[in-house]
Amino acid sequence: MSSIMLLPGVVYHPGWLDRAGQETLVADLRAAVRAAPLFTPTMPRTGKPFSVRMTNLGRLGWVSDKERGYRYQGTHPETGAPWPPMPAVLERLWNELSGFPAPAEACLVNFYDPKARMGLHQDRDEETFEAPVVSLSLGDAALFRIGGRNRKDPTRSIRLESGDALTFGGEARLAFHGIDRVYPGTSTLLPQEGRINLTLRRVTAP
Ligand code: MD3
Ligand code: FE
C-alpha cells in the first residue's frame, strides 16, 4: 500500500480500505447510527447549526452546543447513552497508521449531504496533541484543504476519495483544515449522495 508524505506531518494513504471493507464498515455505521442517532452540533455562543451532522464511536465523543461549547463526553447529547464501540477495522486503522502506543479514544463520524461544508478550523479540543489524528473517507469525493498553524498560512487542496486515509501528526496536528465541497454522485458506496468522514483521536494523555 502506498503512503505519500503530502506535507510535513501529513501522510496520505490512498485506497487504504478496499470496496468490500468499505461496505462492511458502512453496515457497521448504519447499526451505530441506529443506537446513537446523528445530531446537529451548534456553534458556541451563536448557536448557529453546523451543516455537517455527527455522531461518535468509542469511549469519548466530540459534541458542541451554544451553552457549553466544544467538548468531549462519554454520552450522546440527546439520548444520554454511551457511544457505540468502535468496529475492529477502525482499531486496525489506528494501529497501522497512528504509530501511537495507546488506543484511540474517540471516533467522530461526520455525515455530509451534497451541500455540507466544514470551514477552516483547528482541532484543539483534545487534552493532548501528542497523538496524530487519523481520518478515513467514505462515499462521495470531497475537496479537502489544509494550511498551517496560522489561519493566514498558505493552503493546499486535495481531493479525497472513498477509502482514502490520512494521518496528521507532528507540526500538522494543529494545522488549519476544512472541507470546501462534496462532489455528489462520484461514488456508488452509499445509497444516496453524500460523504462520511471518520476521525480517530486520542483525547487524554495515556
Ligand atoms: C488536520 N473533519 O472532524 S478530515 C474534523 O472530512 C474534520 O470531515 C474533516 O476536520 C472531514 O475535525 C477533515 C481530515 C482531518 C481531520 C483532523 C485533522 C485533518 C486534520 C486534525 C488536524 C489536522
Ligand atoms: Fe478538524
Residue 27 host element (H or E): helix 19-35
Helix, strand and coil in the chain, % to nearest 5: 15, 35, 50
Pocket test for ligand 1, best of 29, 133, 164 (most atoms within 8 A of CB): 133
Task: Kindly state the cell numbers that stand for 24.
Answer: 462492511
What is the rounded CA–CA span in Å between residue 105 and residue 93? 13
Tell me the β-bridge partners of 138: 196
pLDDT digits (tens, 9 = 90+) for 133-175: 999 999 999 999 999 999 999 999 999 999 999 999 999 999 9
Residue 197 has pLDDT above 80, yes or no: yes
Domain assignment present for residue 37? The answer is: yes
Indicate if ligand 1 lies below 6 Å from the C-beta of 118: yes
**For residue 178, how far is its CA from the centre of ligand 1 (angstroms)?**
7
Contact indicator for 176, 151 with CB cutoff of 8 Å: yes
Cβ < 5 A residues, ion ligand 2: 123
What's the rounded mean pLDDT across residues 192-197?
98
In a domain, 206, yes or no: no
- Sorting pLDDT into bands at 50, 70 and 90, what band is 101? very high
The verdict on the CB of residue 201 being under 6 Å from ligand 1 is: no
Kindly state whether residue 185 falls inside one of the protein's structural domains. yes
Contact status, residue 196 vs residue 112, Cβ threshold 8 Å: yes
Is residue 126 in contact with ligand 1, taking CB distance under 6 Å? no
Banded pLDDT at 131 (limits 50, 70, 90): very high
Q: Please indicate, yes or no, if residue 73 is contained in any of the structural domains.
A: yes
The domain tally of the chain equals 1
Least Cα distance to 142 among 172, 169, 111 occurs for 111
Can you tell me the distance from the alpha carbon of 41 to that of 121, in angstroms, rounded to the nearest whole number?
A: 15
Residue 40 lies in a domain: yes
38 within 8 A of 111, measured Cβ to Cβ: yes
Measured in residues, the chain has a length of 206
Q: Give the 3-state secondary structure of residue 90.
A: helix
Residue 140 lies in a domain: yes
What 3-state class would DSSP assign to 170?
helix
Q: Is the CB of 57 under 6 A from ligand 1?
A: no
Domain range spanning residue 127? 4-201
Task: Identify the pLDDT of residue 1.
Answer: 73
- Residue 63 banded pLDDT, cuts 50, 70, 90: very high
Which ligand 1 atom is the nearest neighbour of the CA of 142?
6
Ligand 1 atom closest to Cα of residue 110: 8
* Proportion of the chain above pLDDT 90, given as a percent: 100
Q: Give mean pLDDT, residues 183-204.
A: 98
- 167 in any annotated domain: yes
What's the whole-number mean pLDDT along residues 28-41? 98
In a domain, 87, yes or no: yes
The yes-or-no verdict on residue 196 having pLDDT over 80 is yes
> What is the CATH number for 170?
2.60.120.590
